[in-house]
Chains A and B, each alone.
Chain A
């Protein structure tokens, strides 16, 4: 691999300044994705800025309710946090459904959100990929694309976002705290990731050098009954073939509030707003859940190998919501 320099600042401003000054620099957190990609030559930073010594750990309950999760909190730590387990089971389950125990002990909250797609063609420098090498083409569009997008893809890119955690955070309307050279700002989670469009190499709305410092999860009492269902090709240590994060708040039989997000269907964690709109204010039935999924998936454009994802996501939507509805009775 390319020789690189390594820095380990203890101060956020210093870290951001280092990145800002060097267009080939990259942040290193858990290393569970970046180091692999460096070995493969997919990413070739000349400077690694290790963020593990920054004061970005800890999970704090917020005064107004909800949680603030530091950027370097490990996935395993977050999944085991008692407030997460009690108030946000969707989050704990999404975390525990991901990767392996060893990887979860290393992977961080912010790093998980910024992991790169598992598209075969992105991972192999011998193949065309607009995300890795803009303008080279998208080999996946007409290649082996069973795992890839059914929604919101472009001719330039059909990749999916691989994170489970991100799907739960999309459903929970989390907020991302970001440090930039100009100062700090909040980014609504659903605005963090981009659609591929003509520039799949740009995966987030963050400017270069920006550093995620924390993720805030707002209070959502209904999330105490929430679910994350992940379908995968083997029982553990596999990326999702399709996944659903769901929060369901019923007033009697009537849907007072609902949050739905899909994983492994698009370039970004997919918040299913259309499905939510179908459900809100109506008496819940499994049939209604199916109609809601249909409304969301009406825009689906399956690729050659992944048409099955449409009925699969529908079935998992119905299951997740129905199980939540039944758990109230």
Chain B
């Protein structure tokens, strides 16, 4: 690794294409004879379609076809219930995509979709998550394969005996993934082969799912995802758009473009489940925690089970001899929740890191000191050693950089004109994992190198980071290296998700590049015209990893000001300090981290899916009414990292940083609001009326 590209700031390789509009996204490839799809959402919540009348839609000039369960091509039922689309008349939630109109123009398709007449037999529905819902049950596991409940020691006895106790219930609403590029696909069938340009976080999985759904060999499906305009988890697995477009293209025997509307992103693509979380902490007067319990409730659908791992965060974060975590679910008549940036850790950390702040107040000690006092030496859950754990380093460095030392801990003590000012802190952690991937590296006769892996750059800078890593592994200047990603014809790789992208992909790339260097070292004479190619796969190596607790850590510091009369909250300052292993590209790393932190501001203050139980759906399903933090809401934001060498991770030593930025950030804001006003908000978002209406508010 003497070339030294890793660690240097580099702008995105595809940046010029993106800012000049020449980068092509899924529905932007020029294509002759293309048609347009428009999905039709169900207007019933629970029931069955009794009749579909496509005639008014077919009468719209330009409409070619109306696909529905009565006429759509058949799919394999064994792949994934979510993807078994247009196959049966059952309606599981309002907004389920139950028909698709295909037309010569997008306008005709949209008008046609309005004109499809659908009758339903409806049944009573239940769409609101409550702590006493009669349908609550214990799932067999939680995502991805964690035990549902855990218990060590005797929590009840230790909690009862504790000198200081916190017992609080926190609630988070439904949050909706809203990548700028919606779920979008262009699908075309040629000679029994399916080619799709698709917006996803991993086209290897999309290729596999399509092949199984349509009962064709995997190599008859090609999925290209050259550029992807965000996903935040929602494109981590194939979803409705790619299946509908592929069905439609087969039906009309022409290429079909389909982009879901913004409104259709509120449901059919998944969302972060609402949660109800009870956290109990029992400590001595000095804040040494004896007992931790985190009980989490969330929802799933009647289609398939999705069990958010909300309380898993608490299993490994802070030390305590007596500990318990539980998860309960209820099946509601709602869309199936799905991954959204740090699923589990994000809502879970809001609850635990808020409770830690409450415990610090109850003990009368500084919230940073409280966390330091409860720092574990080994993973409290599994007993494994940590590969590295620099939470305390993040807290200490952040405290110094933020000016935490001057803080008056009394709530409501600092006023500047109309504003009450407060500061808050929270810890953060996120697992550092890797998935098996394959890659090839080729030495070309002209002295250049080509590296290939089906990685996906969803806007993170992955392409650039991998290019830097490959150059170092080949020990050549990066200008001599060409990288190809985003195509299922490339060596298969895992999704851009779980903060595992760079760790997984760079591992396979590094092995391929190292092997190529070895081979070149033994090679004499000129290279053949096609070059010399070696392939590598990491499946065995990853399987053989020794069990350890591998986590990224972080600490968030926030200053808020709260209007003393209106309750409006503004985040004046936000600082995140992270321990994420080696940082490959500081430019894109910082962007990822402050992106996560900004999403945390959004989560704390703005975002909330408002459900109307009578209709069974979220009524604020657009950007005018579902607010996401804008530039004006982010006044001063900085992300830094501590130097961290960890040789027990992967060859590059990266931990992944796509998700850690959001973990704990909402808690830091809620803790700062409490410090500013004296009001503890335990149900997000922190709307102004929750502050202005409080009796303790001055």
Interface residues of A (CB under 8 A from B): 1-3, 39, 41, 118, 120-121, 123-127, 139, 143-144, 231-239, 241, 308, 311-312, 315-316, 318-319
Cβ contact within 8 Å between A234 and B620: no
Contact of A118 among B565, B625, B689 (CB under 8 A): B625
Q: 0/1 per residue, B416-428, Cβ < 8 Å to A?
A: 0010000000000
Q: Are the C-beta atoms of B619 and A312 separated by less than 8 Å? A: no
A234 and B619 alpha carbons, distance in the complex (Å): 19
- Complex interface: stretch among B405-413, B607-615, B667-675: B607-615
Residues of A within 8 A of B622 (CB): 123
Contact: A234 with B610, CB < 8 Å? no
The reply to whether A235 and B606 form a contact with Cβ atoms under 8 Å apart is no
B43 adjacent to chain A (CB < 8 Å): yes
A235 and B632 contacting across the interface, CB-CB below 8 Å: yes
A89 to chain B, nearest CB (A): 19
The reply to whether the CB of B544 lies closer than 8 angstroms to some CB of chain A is no
Contact B566 A315 (CB under 8 A): yes
What are 24 of the A-B contact pairs (CB < 8 Å)? A3-B107, A3-B111, A39-B110, A41-B114, A120-B619, A120-B620, A120-B625, A121-B619, A124-B619, A126-B41, A127-B612, A127-B615, A143-B614, A144-B610, A144-B619, A234-B632, A235-B570, A235-B633, A236-B630, A237-B630, A239-B624, A308-B688, A311-B692, A316-B566
Measured CA separation A1–B103 after assembly (Å): 12
A316-B627 Cα distance, complex, nearest whole Å:
23
Q: How many residues of B contact A (CB 8 A)?
A: 36
Find B624's partner among A2, A118, A127, A139 (CB 8 Å cutoff): A118
With contacts A124-B619, A139-B615 known, is A233 near B630, CB below 8 A?
no
B692-A233 in contact (CB<8A): no
Also in contact, A236 and B627, with CB within 8 A (given A144-B619, A231-B566, A231-B688): no
Does B631 sit within 8 A of A, measured CB to CB? yes
> What per-residue 1/0 map shows which CB atoms of B590-613 lie under 8 Å from chain A?
000000000000000110001010
Interface residues of B in 666-692 (CB under 8 A from A): 687-689, 692
User: A residues within 8 A CB of B612?
Assistant: 120, 127, 139, 143-144
Is the CB–CB distance between A235 and B630 below 8 Å? yes
How many contacts between A and B, using CB within 8 angstroms? 86
Q: Looking at the complex, which one of B111, B566, B570 makes contact with A2 (CB distance below 8 Å)? A: B111
Interchain CB contact under 8 A, A319 and B565? yes
Instruction: Tell me how far the C-beta of B521 lies from the nearest C-beta in chain A, rounded to whole angstroms.
Output: 57
Minimal Cβ-Cβ distance residue in A for B624: A118
B568 at the interface (CB under 8 A from A): yes
Write the nearest CB–CB distance from B399 to chain A, whole angstroms.
27
- Which B residue sits closest to A126, measured CB to CB? B43
Which residues does chain B contribute within 8 Å of A125, judged by CB atoms? 114
Q: Is the CB of B627 within 8 A of A234?
A: yes
Contact status A308-B692, CB under 8 Å: yes
Q: Does B364 make an interface contact (CB < 8 A)?
A: no
Given A236-B631, A319-B565: A144 and B606 interface contact (C-beta under 8 Å): no
- Quick one: closest B residue to A162, CB to CB? B624
| Least CB separation from B568: chain A residue | A231
Residues of A within 8 A of B606 (CB): 233-234
**A30: min CB distance to chain B, Å:** 16
B693 touches A308 (CB 8 A): yes
Chain A residues, Cβ within 8 Å of B566: 231, 312, 315-316
Q: Does B535 contact A (CB under 8 A)?
A: no
Residue B629 at the chain A interface, CB threshold 8 Å = yes
| Chain B residues positioned under 8 Å from A2 (CB to CB) | 111
Residues in B with CB closer than 8 Å to A143 are: 612, 614, 619
- Bound form: Cα–Cα A141–B43 in Å: 21
Decide: B627 and A233 in contact? CB cutoff 8 A: yes
